[in-house]
Each structure stands twice: as structure tokens, then as C-alpha cells.
Structure 1
Amino acid sequence: MNWKILMLALIASVGLQSCSEDDGSPNGGKANLTVRMTDAPGDYDAVLIDVQGIEIHVTSETELEGDVDGDGWIAVDDVQTGVYDLLELTGGVTQVLADTEVPEGFVSQIRLILGSNNTVVVNGVSKPLNTPSAQQSGLKLQVNEELVAGENYAFLLDFDVDNSIVTTGNGGYNLKPVIRLNAEPNAGTVVGSITPVNIQALVRIENSNITISAYTNAEGEFSLNGVPAGTYKLTVIPEANSLLNTYVIDEIEVKANSVTEVEVVTL
């Protein structure tokens, strides 16, 4: 009888210890992170960006897995490295760069690391894009987001190509990226289409704080991603040689974590 009591006590003790160990954060203190890239319009034939890595700066109360130098910078796993044409990422198209787990904690910055194979195509001629700072330490963007274990977070890197490429006096091109980072888990999306579909149009929404734009695709469709909740003005600007008028909707309400569909815009 005493042995049975002892065994029951031992089992109960192990069970309590196991429960105590399992009471930590979900996924072992990991948050789910997706990083995507998209592009605002630019007047070039192609803009090719060589993505080699992504890092985040995490402040945590516990020791960070993957923090090799002890400075809080962690390399994001499973990054889809490669050369991407930013001008293919319009009309709401996005490129997933990473979809993985990262340690929970306060993320102050994200760093996009570029390689040396960056080029711009102008009038059919390919020319190098100089990016010395990006190759050394990466392009740092402010995040300031608390990542909670078990939750899903999506970071959208929105390049503004037209303002990111600077011509030099000797006919060269420098890449000084202007990137809008949306790290709000509750951001919305605005979708719609135009007619006629045989032209391309620039679609822009804006208010006093935010401007987001994208081109329509071959089917006349557009999608504006990562839009914080709020009220916006929507403007559709057809290509100049179409001789069509600009179309304006004065107020569009975007709600958190939802899709706002605009009726077909007839130009």
C-alpha cells in the first residue's frame, strides 16, 4: 500500500513538473512572421534587386536563439533569396521573402540585406545600381512592434521605385531605397478594377498621413495592400496617351483586417 501511495505521489509530482514546463508561451516563445515585398510605380523598364537576407532586432527578457553576437540582431530563417524585378510587383502583386517563426519580443528594426547584383533597365539598356551601404549593413527600417508568441505578423516592404533611384552626374544610378514598412497585423486591403482594361492606370489612396499606390494589371485589376484603417481619397490616373480623364472617389472607408472592394471604375 505504501508503495502504491509513493508511486502515485511520484506520478503526480512528475505531472505537476511537466505542466509547469509546458505553461510557457505557445510555440516555445515563437511568433509567426511573414515578410513580403511589393512596389509603388516607377518609370523604368525593370528594377532588379538582389535580396540576400533579412534580419530583425529583438529585445527580449530571455536569451535569444540565433543571436550570435549578443547584439539583438537575428537572421530570419528560410529567406527566399534571389534577384527580383520590382516592376513585376505592381497591381497588388507581392513577393513572399520569408514565412517562418521568430523569437517573441519587441522588434525595433528590420534589416533587408542586398547583394551586389542590382540593376536598372532604362530604354532597353541595363545599368548597375550602386548600393554600397545596403551591401555592408543592410537597409534598416523602423518596426517598433511587440511580437507575441503564437500570434501571426505580416511585414510588407513597399518600395517607392520612382524616389528610390537617383541619377548621378556621370550617367550612373544609385539605389537609395524609399520603403514604406507596414507592420500592422490589422491592416486592410483595397481592391477593384477599371474599364477599359486595355490601358494601364495608377491607383492611389491617400489621407493627411499616408499615400499608397499601385498600377493596374493586364486585366485592369488593382490591389492596395497593408492599408491602415481610416478614411482615404482614391484617385485613378490613366496613362497619358489614353486621353482619358482622372477618376476620383472622395471618401473610402478602410476597416481593420478586412477587404474594401471598390465598384468598377469606368474611365
Structure 2
Amino acid sequence: MKLLRLLPLALALPVALASCSKDNESAGSSKLEVRLMDAPGDYQSVVLDVQQVEVHLQDEANPDGWQLLPFKAQTINVLEYVNGKSALLVNTDFAPGDLKEIRLVLGSGSYVIGRDGQRYDLKTPSGQTSGVKLKLDQATLRERETFQLLLDFDVAKSVVERGNWKPGNDRKERYLLKPVVRVVAQAIKGGLRGTVAPAAALPQVLAIRSSITVPDTFSTAADASGAYQLSGLPSGTYKVQFFPSTTAPANQPAYKVVTRTGITVTNEQVTDLGQTSLN
């Protein structure tokens, strides 16, 4: 996020963000995050053509319980997301409740690049019709919490070579995609807290997760005592910005916009930033 040159405009942005955050909290919403990661495989690339991501909110037998998630269709080379890296597919506000299944609808553009450097289209019959369905156990979203569905894609088991294929045959017929995906569902309970001085500055507080490609921003406001806390934060590295919403009395030092960087948030723990001076 870029700070604007004029302070009044700079103050207006976090105020608006904090206002939206409070509205979401008063509505009792939660946040749903869907990520994709991979176990390495013996290919140069394995590219999935992901068209839609949906979740099922009803019993499995009910065909009407599917809800489309906000996701932009894209191709994803899953081999880029190994050794702890993950692709963020969805990050959205969501109503609290139970999730029963998640489904990935794949297009016709999935392919692999083998060790020989050649491209081979992947046939994905189930993924292009009914979608790749994955059952969820104990996936419950609660108010003001972030819930993460981590889709662990196993390339070695998912890409199947036809036994009767020989060099010179149609390359489209060499590989089938039969996705083997393990789902790790967890509530994300990291947090940040601290105090500001002077408390009279009543700052808006923005926590920006900078350790991902598209940064997430979470916001709150310090109370009259100068205390603040942000909950339901995904693990990662953050910068925290403080925007005073008032001006200092004439006989006191001016309040300043302050940015703290390199703040680490870990799941199940609340990171205490101690006191931050705004003078």
C-alpha cells in the first residue's frame, strides 16, 4: 500500500478500511482462505487450468448446497509451490458455519512438461465435468476467525502415464490427471496486540502481510487507553502502520504516522508489539 503525500488523505484511507472491518465484525462474519501447495514430482512443470472453486454447505446428498467462491480462472504451475510455498486461490469474507466439501473445476488447458522438455496435455475427465471434489471433516468457520483450507496436491500420484503409450503416439494420450489431494483444514488464530503513546492520538492500525505476492491488509483502531489487538491473522511477516486520527495539542509534539516492519505472526500465538510511540 502506498502512502499519499497529503496527510489528510493518508488518514482517510485507514479510517475507511477500519470502518469496513468493524462492519464485517458487527455482521458476525469470518474469513475463508483457500491455498494450493504441491509435493514434488518428476516433471519440469505441472500446470492446472483451474476455472472455479466452490464449497458445499449442505449434506453430501443435497445437490443445491454448492456456493461459488470469488476466484479468477487461471493456470497454476503447482511445481512452483513446494517446500512450504503455497498459491493463494481465495481470500474472502464468509458466513460462519460448517463446510462439507470443496470442489475445483478444471478446464481443458492442463498440461505437463516432461523431463524431455516436451509438452503433454493432461486429460482430466472428472475435473472438467463434476469437478474435483474433496470432503472436509470438522471444517467449521467461526465469527471473527480466519479459516484456511490447504490443498496439498500430490503430483507423483496424480499424473498417471498410460502403460501402452510409446514415442511417436499422440502426445495428448500419454498422461491422465487423476488428482490426489490432501486437505488440511485449520482455524488461523494468530494475532497482534500492543499499545500506542500518546493514547490521545487514537490511531487506526493496519497490519499488512507482506510475505505473499498480493499483500493482505487487516485493520483496527486503538481504544482510549491506547490498546489494540488484531485477531485471526494468517501466519507470515507483516508491517504494521499507525495513522493518528487526531492532532496533538499546540503545546505538545505532533503525532506522526509510524510504520514497523519485519513483524512475525505465528498461528495459535499472539505477538505482542509492546508500546509504539507516535511522537
Structure 2 letter corresponding to 1:84: I
Give the structure 1 partner of residue 268 of structure 2. 257
Q: CA deviation at 1:53?
A: 1.0
Structure 2 distance, partners of 1:179, 1:109, is 13
Give the structure 2 partner of residue 161 of structure 1. 155
Q: How does the TM-score come out when normalised to structure 1?
A: 0.55
Picking from 92, 96, 100, the partner of 2:88 is 96
Structure 1 letter corresponding to 2:44: D
Picking from 144, 148, 164, the partner of 2:142 is 148
CA RMSD in angstroms comes to: 2.8
Q: CA deviation at 1:74?
A: 0.3
Give the structure 2 partner of residue 39 of structure 1. 38
Structure 2 distance, partners of 1:176, 1:82, is 19
Q: CA deviation at 1:256?
A: 6.6
Residue ranges of structure 2 left out of the alignment (5+ in a row): 1-23, 166-173, 191-234, 236-265, 270-279
Q: How does the TM-score come out when normalised to structure 2?
A: 0.52
Give the alignment of 1:1-267 within 5 angstroms. 26=25, 28-59=27-58, 71-77=64-70, 79-122=71-114, 123-144=116-137, 145-171=139-165, 172-185=174-187, 257=268
- 2:97·2:140 contact (CA, 8 Å) conserved in 1? yes
Q: CA deviation at 1:51?
A: 0.9
- 2:141·2:187 contact (CA, 8 Å) conserved in 1? no
* Runs of 4+ residues deviating >6 angstroms: none
Q: CA deviation at 1:170?
A: 4.1
Structure 2 letter corresponding to 1:45: Q
Structure 2 distance, partners of 1:35, 1:148, is 16
Q: CA deviation at 1:84?
A: 0.9
Deviates more, 1:154-163 or 1:165-174: 165-174
Where 1:133 maps in the other structure, the secondary structure is helix
**Structure 1 pair 187–28 and aligned structure 2 pair: CA distance change class (3 A):** closer
The sequence identity of aligned pairs, in percent, is 39
Aligned pair count reads 161
